Amino acid sequence: MASSAARQSRLAFWLLILATAVWGSTFIVVQDGINAMPMMMFMGWRFVIAFLVMLAIRPRALRMTAKTFRQGLFIGIALAFGYWTQTFGLYTTSATVSGFITGMFVVITPILAGFIYKMKIPYTGWLGVVLATVGLALISLKGWSFGVGESWTLVGAAFFSFQIMWLSRWATPATSYSIAITQVGTTAVIFFVGGLFIDGFEVPQGQAVWTSILFLAVFASALAFIIQTWSQSHMNPTKAAIVLSAEPVFAGLFGVLVAGDVITLRIALGGLLILGAMYLVELGPRHNSEVADDLSKPHLGF
């Protein structure tokens, strides 16, 4: 019979998939919003509302130690600058290439974790990284030249890698909500203040824009980041990165169901490779020692 820790690890895996599916749906939802108002202010409103929703759900989460606050602050900075640099990259590169380069956090995350924290990644983890990377390439790439936009996007992928790595290293079940609300609040401040300086204050106009912002704020920010933070308190950063690499798979699925897109053989193969990577790191046969390593990882602070 599975132990309580093993059951929580499995639950964390499936909940992180749920959050990834929500993020995959945002490619369609966000379209009206970003065409109707500047991106910085759009993202600012998204994260401000998300912070207020999280605060209303659990106001006591703001009662945290200085250490927990610092951890959430740094994770929020990494998340905000990941979105910011990714947005700069989109000005001069295609969305498909941006999606692939952003997905390179699946490679960067275990490299950073190994270099900074001396984490040993099992061979199944590295094989999962390879499968997920090939799957992302099949889904996203149709030709690619590396320029300024691609460079900005790669920097964004590195920021996302730090966010993923730090969540797994620092978050615990007891501190996950406080870290999540600090992360979202930090991101809200960076985008809203940045938007004021770059674009000036602007209130969203129209039902379509407000619908996009509210969906992103409640489901893709407040709920999804609560789930991600709690889930990553139960898994190592490599496993989390591989699960999160499924976002374009869900984006493609929602594109078919909602926008009438067509799944090609190459996209289907890419999706199967990413699913195979997730099978390797979670659903396939695992040694007990690997499970124990995942659940007993040290949590380092500043």
Q: Kind and range of the H or E element at 119?
A: none
Average pLDDT over residues 174-198: 95
pLDDT at residue 294 in the model: 43
Provide the pLDDT confidence category of residue 193 given band limits of 50, 70 and 90: very high
Flag the least confident range among 13-22, 25-34, 165-174: 25-34
pLDDT digits (tens, 9 = 90+) for 91-119: 776 666 666 677 788 888 888 888 888 87
Residues 6+ apart with CB under 8 A from 25: 220, 250, 251, 254
Higher pLDDT, 69 or 93: 69
In a 10 Å sphere around its CB, with 0-12 CB exposed, 13-18 middle and 19+ buried, how is residue 232 labelled? buried
pLDDT at residue 299 in the model: 35
pLDDT at residue 213 in the model: 92
pLDDT at residue 63 in the model: 95
pLDDT at residue 301 in the model: 36
Average pLDDT over residues 192-209: 89
pLDDT at residue 295 in the model: 35
For residue 234, pLDDT beyond 80: yes
How many CA atoms within 13 Å lie on the side-chain side of 301? 13
For residue 233, pLDDT beyond 80: yes
In a 10 Å sphere around its CB, with 0-12 CB exposed, 13-18 middle and 19+ buried, how is residue 63 labelled? exposed
The dihedral formed by the CA atoms of 52, 57, 58 and 61, expressed in degrees to the nearest 10: -40
pLDDT digits (tens, 9 = 90+) for 25-68: 876 666 556 667 888 898 999 999 999 999 999 999 999 999 99
- Return the closest-CA partner of residue 237 out of 83, 87, 104, 119: 119
Domain boundaries, the chain: 26-294
Residues 6+ apart with CB under 8 A from 154: 101, 104
Which is it for the CA torsion 277, 268, 149, 49, positive or negative? negative
For helices 105-117 and 237-244, angle between their N-to-C axes, nearest 10 degrees: 170
Provide the pLDDT confidence category of residue 250 given band limits of 50, 70 and 90: confident
pLDDT at residue 38 in the model: 85
Max mean pLDDT among 13-27, 114-128, 143-157, 160-174 falls in 160-174
